[in-house]
Amino acid sequence: MVAEELDPRNEYDKDVWNLRRLGMSGRASVPITYLRFTRLKQPWLKDAIKRYCRYTLSRGAVSSCLEWIGVAANFSEYLSESYPQITGSGINRDILIGFIIFLERRGFSPNGRYSKIIHFRTILEHCGREGWGGLPNRVLLYKQDLPARTAATPRFIPDEVVRALNAHLDDLAEDQQRMLLVIQEVGMRAGELCEAPFDCLLRDNDGDYFLLYYQGKMRKEHHVPISRDLAAVVKEQQGFMRQRFAGQEVPYLFTTRRGTAYKRNTLAVMVNAVAHKHDIRGPDGQPFWFRSHGFRHRVGTSMINNGVPQHIVQRFLGHETAHMTSVYAHIMDSTLKRAIDDYRAKKVDISGAVAPDIGAAVSEDALVLKLNVQAQALPNGQCHLPVQAGPCPHANACLTCGHFRSTARFLPVLKQQLADAERMVAWATENDANRVLEMNERVARNLRGMIRALEDESPLIDVAQSAQASGADG
């Protein structure tokens, strides 16, 4: 430290940069004090990487510099072993293909190698363009040079594991309990949770709440709708912070007792301590290891498996592209099974007649595709007018539309609708509202036929007959 203080050189000329002297230190939840270039043995490579890191710092991407320095150190080691006399101008494709093989020999996973090669290609292209380190200004690495990545294993946290964790919330400190509740509903990144601003609640004209936070990865503010229950949790935390730091300005919603932001790994550490204490296990029977990002995966996966359109999930999670959201588009086996069961369930139309089966010869993937493309979901069934045909020409009169289908799954809803229709019939009769009476009598008649058919477990021909009987009864 003394030598550092006495070093008169410009900070950018040193092999260890003190970022605080440069007026930056990374994000509050991921503090970075030093950038070290000491592992770069070739002077031309060290100069190029320093220049590139200086450019990166000007864009505020402090943590990215660690990635650049890391892969450059791997390249420096490779050159020291295989090309000790090489200079920047001598770098060519043969040397870089050897570097790719070097990374594999060093035991990096396919995904790890993919990431490093992408980073190094970015460095080469920028430094070559600027003429830094004498690197050639031409393309040296191509897309086909990248290793095939292994399919990402879904990292969402199963519902039963979350329930087991939440059963022991009392093991956490009061503010840590609230941290966990926020990330479980919002699915933000751990660093974004730790840096959530104290004044993070917004409210619209309808009285609904939104949570405002800064997305460090995307470098933008983001706000998402939250439940009133979670809004109450946030208000409790704000009150907690006002009491803890009475008379002081509090920048963050969650802080340590000293008023500094929690580190990014704090949540995972405290949750895993609870999991270890109570022996929380996953579906495979093994002790479950929580990762903070797993809560984000859980939110995205749960939304998609509950039918939220992917572009809405993309907006909620704050992704720039649909590809980023597709990582979360894991269709659970239970969702696939429910979709197939629902599609194969006995369906009746508004007359109570059983709709013809589509047959069992097609694949399950084709069934799911057909169900989602050629059926429009309704609260009490599905409209089999294809989605491509546009909006329903019958407005809200689905119960009098020949395209409507329903299953026993919707019996409670159908019965409630029948009760509502019968009340309207009684009112219309009493008030001589003939048009209302006519419309609701037809709806009630169709509902009775559908309900009777769905409750009847007899052969299909009897189902059709019961529907006709219901129509005759009026």
Which residue type does 94 have?
D
Which tokens sit at 63? 């943590």
| DSSP 8-state assignment for residue 408 | G
Residues 6+ apart with CB under 8 A from 149: 110, 111, 114
CA distance 474 to 471: 5
- 3-class DSSP state for residue 456? coil
Residues forming the active site:
189, 217, 293, 296, 319, 328
Closest CA to 312 of 294, 329, 295, 298: 329
| DSSP 8-state assignment for residue 143 | G
Question: What DSSP element (H or E) covers 31?
Answer: strand 30-31
Range 182-208 burial, b when 16+ CB lie within 10 A, else e: bbbbbbbbbbbbbbbebebbeeeeeee
- The CA-based angle 137-143-147, given to 5 degrees, is 125
Which tokens sit at 119? 């980073």
| DSSP 8-state assignment for residue 379 | T
Beta-bridge partner residues of 16? 36
CA distance 144 to 97: 11
